[in-house]
């Protein structure tokens, strides 16, 4: 089917319908889809592509949910289960601060191809991103203490932490309302939330891939409460497992509706499913075409989201770079340590330096902007 009708809508700034999105997903014309998505990205963010210097921390992989797609989680006494103490986390951050860039273990392959001289410089990450399993024994006050200790030790570090799934769990274990839970976390130092746990919001697929997880409706409720409490967040979508295009579109429609009401989402992040060591039978890695199409259609459909993130850890460095020409305007960051994707067969590096990110972005024809956690430039 010709995309001309959709092209006219996009160029005149009209909102796309779910049927339009389905037409795009069913089309093989990824060049037209990419060109239109890039047009929208440029109209929202100029020719810029953002990155952030951040550090990921996963305090524990012990989780009561055990989603079928998750190769990261363990039960309490299972081999490979781990728990980081608050002291461990502070030490990890202190150590990372002291290190020189380019002096780490397994780095991105782009380390070697960067034309910019690879001179180590001190790491100055501005954000810590914390997500973990739903631990059966840790009390709510443990998480408050973690936030406080991080803030005490690193007052300038932005804390982006806890998925909507974790927030719901905290509300259950503390016996407090969502609002009170969120305000207590904010008071202890929480500044924004990542977009994880959204998976596919629609019930049929969600019950198949993560039957123990909170419902899609509850995930949206938590995000609405967070935005109401002045905590901005991201939204993700896990794609490429058992869902069909219609489920992705339904998922994005729900996000678009909530964003119309709250305006609290900063970025949308399609997460490419990784199949290794998971319990999703017969699943495969996503294709590069599907990755690019999904990014581009997200950019076209989610007209009320300012940013579409190409999370390079899950897409791989090269597809993430191409995604910048297909509607994405953000590559995420330095990450430094990644466990969730790499437990499931992640094939990217686990860290990139600022130089590598700038190089990757520059070669896509975009202007690299180092951002803070609210997309203000740090250049």
List interacting residues with ligand V47 (CB under 6 A): 69-71, 131, 163, 194-197, 199, 234, 236, 238, 269, 271, 273-274, 278, 311, 314, 332, 340-341, 344
Comparing CA positions, the residue from 240, 251, 338 lying closest to residue 289 is: 240
**Interaction partner, residue 195 (ligand V47, ligand SF4, none; CB < 5-8 Å by kind):** ligand V47
Q: Using the minimum distance from each CB to ligand SF4, give the nearer residue, 238 or 322.
A: 238
Under the binding rule (CB under 6 A), the answer on residue 296 touching ligand SF4 is no
Which part of the chain contacts ligand SF4 (CB under 6 A), choosing from 62-70, 284-292, 321-329, 353-361?
Answer: 62-70
Instruction: List the one residue from 16, 24, 37, 67 that touches ligand SF4 (CB under 6 A).
Output: 67
**Interaction partner, residue 140 (ligand V47, ligand SF4, none; CB < 5-8 Å by kind):** none
Kindly state the tokens that stand for 153: 């030790």
DSSP lists the bridge partners of residue 54 as 127
Under the binding rule (CB under 6 A), the answer on residue 49 touching ligand SF4 is no
**Interaction partner, residue 133 (ligand SF4, ligand V47, none; CB < 5-8 Å by kind):** ligand SF4
Closest separation in Å from C-beta 129 to ligand V47: 6
Taking only Cα atoms into account, the Rg of the chain, rounded to an integer number of angstroms, comes to 20
SS3 of 255-283: the string is HHHHHHHHCCEEEEEEEECCCCCCCCCCC
Q: Rounded to an integer, what distance in angstroms lies between the CA atom of residue 185 and that of residue 203?
A: 29
Instruction: List the one residue from 9, 35, 66, 99 that touches ligand SF4 (CB under 6 A).
Output: 66
Go through the chain and tell me how many residues it has. Answer: 379
Comparing CA positions, the residue from 55, 19, 49 lying closest to residue 339 is: 55
Under the binding rule (CB under 6 A), the answer on residue 249 touching ligand SF4 is no
Under the binding rule (CB under 6 A), the answer on residue 65 touching ligand SF4 is yes
| Cα distance between the two ends of the chain | 44
Please tell me whether residue 6 adopts helix, strand or coil conformation: helix
Q: Rounded to an integer, what distance in angstroms lies between the CA atom of residue 15 and that of residue 9?
A: 7
Under the binding rule (CB under 6 A), the answer on residue 75 touching ligand SF4 is no
Q: Using the minimum distance from each CB to ligand V47, give the nearer residue, 20 or 243.
A: 243
Closest separation in Å from C-beta 196 to ligand V47: 2
Under the binding rule (CB under 6 A), the answer on residue 222 touching ligand SF4 is no
For 15-24, b/e burial (b = at least 16 CB within 10 A) is: ebeeebbbbb
Instruction: List the one residue from 59, 133, 264, 316 that touches ligand SF4 (CB under 6 A).
Output: 133
Closest separation in Å from C-beta 194 to ligand V47: 3
Q: Using the minimum distance from each CB to ligand V47, give the nearer residue, 16 or 350.
A: 350
**Footprint (CB under 6 A) of ligand SF4, residues 155-184:** 165
CB 313 within 8 Å of CB 32: no
Kindly state the tokens that stand for 267: 């970025």
Comparing CA positions, the residue from 291, 311, 308 lying closest to residue 299 is: 308
For 221, how many CA atoms within 13 A lie in the half-sphere containing its CB?
A: 12
Nearest residue to the partner ligand V47, using Cβ: 196
* 202 phi, psi to nearest 5 deg: -65, 140
Under the binding rule (CB under 6 A), the answer on residue 215 touching ligand SF4 is no
Residues that bind ligand SF4 (CB under 6 A): 63, 65-67, 70, 72-73, 133-134, 165, 210, 213
């Amino acid at each position: 089917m010709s995309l001309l009708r959709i092209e006219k809508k996009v160029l005149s700034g009209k909102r796309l319908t779910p049927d339009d999105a389905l037409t795009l997903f069913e089309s093989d014309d990824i060049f037209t889809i990419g060109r239109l998505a890039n047009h929208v990205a440029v109209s929202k963010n100029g020719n810029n592509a953002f990155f952030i210097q951040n550090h990921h921390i996963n305090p524990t992989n012990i989780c009561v949910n055990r989603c079928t797609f998750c190769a990261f989680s363990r039960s309490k006494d299972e081999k490979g289960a781990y728990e980081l103490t608050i002291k461990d986390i502070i030490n990890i951050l202190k150590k990372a601060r002291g290190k020189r860039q380019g002096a780490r273990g397994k780095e991105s392959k782009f380390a070697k191809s960067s034309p910019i001289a690879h001179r180590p410089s001190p790491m100055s990450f501005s954000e810590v991103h914390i997500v973990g399993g739903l631990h059966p024994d840790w009390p709510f006050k443990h998480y408050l203490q973690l936030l406080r200790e991080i803030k005490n030790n690193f007052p300038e570090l932005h804390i982006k932490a806890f998925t909507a799934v974790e927030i719901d769990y905290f509300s259950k274990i503390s016996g407090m309302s969502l609002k009170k839970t969120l305000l207590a976390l904010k008071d202890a130092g929480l500044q924004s939330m990542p977009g994880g746990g959204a998976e596919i919001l629609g019930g049929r697929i969600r019950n198949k891939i993560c039957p123990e997880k909170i419902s899609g409706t509850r995930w949206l409720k938590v995000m609405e409460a967070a935005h109401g409490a002045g905590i901005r967040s991201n939204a993700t979508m896990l794609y490429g497992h058992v869902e069909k295009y219609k489920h992705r579109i339904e998922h994005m429609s729900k996000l678009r509706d909530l964003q119309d009401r709250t305006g609290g989402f900063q970025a949308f992040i399609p997460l490419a499913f990784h199949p290794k060591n998971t319990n999703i039978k017969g699943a495969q890695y996503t294709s590069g075409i599907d990755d690019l199409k999904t990014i581009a259609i997200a950019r076209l459909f989610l007209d009320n989201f300012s940013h579409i993130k190409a999370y390079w850890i899950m897409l791989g460095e090269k597809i993430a770079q191409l995604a910048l020409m297909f509607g994405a305007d953000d590559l995420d960051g330095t990450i430094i340590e990644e466990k969730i994707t790499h437990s499931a067969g992640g094939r990217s590096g686990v860290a990139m330096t600022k130089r590598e990110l700038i190089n990757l972005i520059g070669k896509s024809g975009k202007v690299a902007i180092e951002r803070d956690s609210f997309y203000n430039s740090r250049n």
